[in-house]
Amino acid sequence: MSIRGVLFDVDDTLIDYSGTARIGILKHLATEGILDLFESPDAAVALWRGIEDEEYPRFLSGELTFKGQQLARTQRFLAYLGVGCDDPVAWFARYAAHRDTAWTAFPDAAPLLRALDGRTRVGVVSNASKPYQTVKLRTVGLLPHFGEDILCSDEFGAAKPDPAIFLAGCEMLGLPPEHVAYVGDRYDWDALGARDAGLRSYWLVREGSGIAADAGITVIRSLAELDSPAG
Ligand SMILES: [Mg+2]
């Protein structure tokens, strides 16, 4: 059965979110004069990302707004450090300003999208807000490949791994799920979610060895492997 469309996750699939967040938080903490509170830059990044891993799902479940999870992350981070802050919204905005100058696409993203142009429909299904993801994709030069075919959980009302958002992505492309590939870096949200929704599931694992996946999930090590996917 041929693949006629490809839906993409954004963060840590097309765009190096982890690398960008690292640069952003380290520049921000240095500028704020509080990087020295940590044993190492790695420890600072680990705390920031660890809190994100706990608070971001509260946005995905609808408990917090997108801005609400930013505020919750900031307040927890500063409380942990014992640093007072009159305006945590502005504090997060200063972090975001550092981060937003550092967005980078993975080097295999643009070549794949250029190769797919004209022969395969492409779109985005992302657990985030559409304005935020649109700006990021524009910044790294990938937006023209997607046009308006960007579906985000904030506007849709359900988040991966809910099958509804994957099926809505297929509908956006005008294709049945069995003809649509989904590629993402998260096993739980992306790989399992897409497979269980009936799409062709590709789990992107850029690093590590001895990676195994359940039936119905194809492990790829680079987006280049999607240039001519089997079947
Ligand atoms: Mg991702």
Map out the domains of the chain as residue ranges: 5-16+104-226, 17-100
Ligand 1 centroid, distance to 13 Cα (angstroms): 5
- Pairwise pLDDT comparison (31 vs 227), residue with the higher score: 31
Residues 194, 185: contact at Cβ < 8 Å?
no
Given this model, what pLDDT does residue 220 score?
95
Ligand 1 centroid, distance to 26 Cα (angstroms): 21
Ligand 1 centroid, distance to 58 Cα (angstroms): 17
Q: Please give the order of strands across the beta sheet that includes 150-152.
A: 150-152, 121-126, 5-8, 180-184, 200-204, 217-220
CA 176 – CA 180 distance, rounded (Å): 7
Q: Is the pLDDT of residue 231 over 50?
A: no
CA 149 – CA 10 distance, rounded (Å): 13
CA 59 – CA 158 distance, rounded (Å): 11
Classify domain 5-16+104-226 by CATH architecture: 3-Layer(aba) Sandwich (3.40)
Tens digits of residue pLDDT in 129-154? 999 999 999 999 999 999 999 999 99
Residues 122, 227: contact at Cβ < 8 Å?
no
Ligand 1 centroid, distance to 61 Cα (angstroms): 17
Residues 96, 66: contact at Cβ < 8 Å?
no
User: Between helices 88-100 and 17-32, what is the axis angle to 10°?
Assistant: 130
> How far is residue 41 from each of residues 23, 32, 48, 96, 231, measured CA to CA in Å?
10, 14, 11, 18, 45
Question: What count of residues does the chain have?
Answer: 231
Per DSSP, what are the bridge partners of residue 181?
Answer: 6, 200
Q: Indicate whether this model's pTM tops 0.85.
A: yes
Ligand 1 centroid, distance to 11 Cα (angstroms): 4
Q: Is the pLDDT of residue 188 over 60?
A: yes
Percent of the chain with pLDDT over 90: 94
Single-letter amino acid code for the residue at 29:
L
Ligand 1 centroid, distance to 125 Cα (angstroms): 10
CA 111 – CA 12 distance, rounded (Å): 16
Please work out, in degrees rounded to the nearest 5, the angle formed at the alpha carbon of residue 126 by the alpha carbons of 71 and 176.
Answer: 155
Tens digits of residue pLDDT in 214-229? 999 999 999 999 987 6
Taking residues 104-112, report their average pLDDT: 97
Nearest in space to 8 (alpha carbons), one of 159, 214, 157, 185:
185
pLDDT confidence bin for 210, thresholds 50/70/90: confident
Ligand 1 centroid, distance to 33 Cα (angstroms): 31
Single-letter amino acid code for the residue at 55:
E
Classify domain 17-100 by CATH architecture: Orthogonal Bundle (1.10)
